[in-house]
Each structure stands twice: as structure tokens, then as C-alpha cells.
Amino acid sequence: MGFWNGSIRYLNSAGWRIIADASIVAMSVENHQENRRDPFGFFIPSLFFTTLFCVVAGYSQGFMGLIPLESTCDDVRRIFHVDTCTYPQSTYFLKEYWVTVDFTVEKPDPSAKLCFRVPAGRVRSINVSFNKRFSLEQFEYKLKYVRGPYGDIGTTEYENKELGIRAYVLDGEISSVVFEPTASQSEELGFQCEYPSKSKKQISPVKHRNVSRKSSRK
């Protein structure tokens, strides 16, 4: 400011126009910086909510980012903060739910009807039982009524075949959910399990030994 006060008395009209123009430019720069701060300040929360939405939308299949036929034990350990996995099934008792994870294996159980062309050790299904039930409206997936109520406690079953989700409902609230491969995964990777037929034990013929008879004649 000292430079401008000392120099202003020697300026002509053109100089005044230069100063005025410089002031306008300075104000424009300042306003521009403020305008840049405002959109940036708006951009940060917008980015946060957009990212949050993308993360939630990323769970369009599976549970908590754990996806059947794609996730492995490393994903299970990372997502549930557990140390180990057991095959073919692991069960974890967590704060808000307990979850059972089934894995694909080289030699599936004979009761399994559908196998998948994926390496052994992939997540096959996720069964989640919630400690605190919640309404169907609060569930992030759209479900359709299947059957029920049935059983002693009146369980009602809902599902989303396309996403491979089946939910069990008590008194209008979800108590447990099973996440399995999607319809497209089953169509693309699924096949009927084949088990080697049990070979019948071959009964070897009885070998008759030739027993020489001693003559009774002397």
C-alpha cells in the first residue's frame, strides 16, 4: 500500500485507468479464488457421498463385499477380521451376526447337486444369521415372496433368484439370509456334480483244492 500511496500523485488519467483496471483484475482474481473454494468445498462432500453410494452399490451381489465364486479365504479374513478359514466350511460369531461360509472343494459332498467350474477354495455360499432382526423394507435387496409361513415358529421365505439371495423372515423381520451364486453364474459355471460310481467288489471264485484221499487199503 505504501508504494501505491506514494506513486498515485504522479499518475495521469491513463495511469488512473491502469490502476482501476488493475483493481478490477485483482477483485476478479479474488472472486475467482472464492468461487473456486466454494465448488471445491461442495465437491468434497459430494465425492464422499458418491463414493459411499458406489461402495453400497458394489454390494449388488454377495454380503459385505464377499462374493460367491469370486472371493477367497483372504477376502473372508479381511472383511470379517478373522485369522483363519476351515474347509469346506467356516463359522464366525461376530458382534452383529454369526456367519457360515462354505467353500468350493475338489471333492464335494455327495449331497451336493450343483458344482461350479472354479478353483477349490472359492466362497460357495454365505449364510448370515442376524442377532437383531430387521424389516424387509430395510434390506438392501428386493425380494419376492416364495412360501410360508411354515414350521413351528412360522418362518416365511423370500428370495431374489437373479442375485442368488434367499431370506428367512419371522413376524415380518429378516432373521437370516443365504447368499449363493447368481442365476447367470449358475448358468455359466454350474454343472451337475459327478461322482465316481462305487465299483462292486468282485467275488473271486472259490478255489477248490485237490485233496488226495489216502487209500484205506493196506
pLDDT-derived band at 206 (thresholds 50, 70, 90) equals low
Tell me how far apart the alpha carbons of residues 64 and 11 are, in angstroms, rounded to a whole number. 71
Tell me how far apart the alpha carbons of residues 53 and 213 are, in angstroms, rounded to a whole number. 96
Is 217 a residue whose pLDDT tops 60?
Answer: no
Looking at the chain, the whole-number percentage of residues with pLDDT higher than 70 is 62
Is 152 a residue whose pLDDT tops 60?
Answer: yes
When pLDDT is averaged across residues 1-25 and rounded to a whole number, the result is 39
Amino acid, single-letter form, for residue 217? R
Query: What pLDDT does residue 205 have?
Result: 53
CA-closest candidate to residue 95, choices 121, 131, 126, 124: 131
Query: What pLDDT does residue 108 have?
Result: 87
What's the whole-number average pLDDT of the chain?
A: 76
Q: Quickly tell me which residue has 452383529 as its cell.
A: 96
Q: Output the DSSP codes for 23-55.
A: HHHHHHHHHHHHHHHHHHHHHHHHHHHHHHHHH
Main-chain dihedrals φ then ψ at residue 127, nearest 5 degrees: -110, 115
Main-chain dihedrals φ then ψ at residue 192, nearest 5 degrees: -70, 130
Segment 92-136, tens digit of pLDDT? 999 999 999 999 999 888 888 899 999 999 999 999 999 999 999
Ranges assigned E (strand) in the chain: 89-93, 97-103, 114-116, 123-135, 144-150, 155-160, 165-170, 173-179, 190-192
Segment 74-91, tens digit of pLDDT? 999 999 999 999 999 999
Segment 44-60, tens digit of pLDDT? 444 433 333 333 333 44
Is 174 a residue whose pLDDT tops 60?
Answer: yes
* Residue 66 DSSP code: B
pLDDT-derived band at 198 (thresholds 50, 70, 90) equals low
Query: What pLDDT does residue 117 have?
Result: 96
**Which region among 2-6, 109-113, 189-193 has the lowest average model confidence (pLDDT)?**
2-6
Is 19 a residue whose pLDDT tops 60?
Answer: no
Query: What pLDDT does residue 194 have?
Result: 82
More confident residue, 205 or 166: 166
Is 16 a residue whose pLDDT tops 70?
Answer: no
Query: What pLDDT does residue 109 have?
Result: 85
Query: What pLDDT does residue 25 have?
Result: 40
Query: What pLDDT does residue 55 have?
Result: 35
User: Are 176 and 132 a contacting pair, CB within 8 Å?
Assistant: no
Query: What pLDDT does residue 42 have?
Result: 44
Amino acid, single-letter form, for residue 33? Q
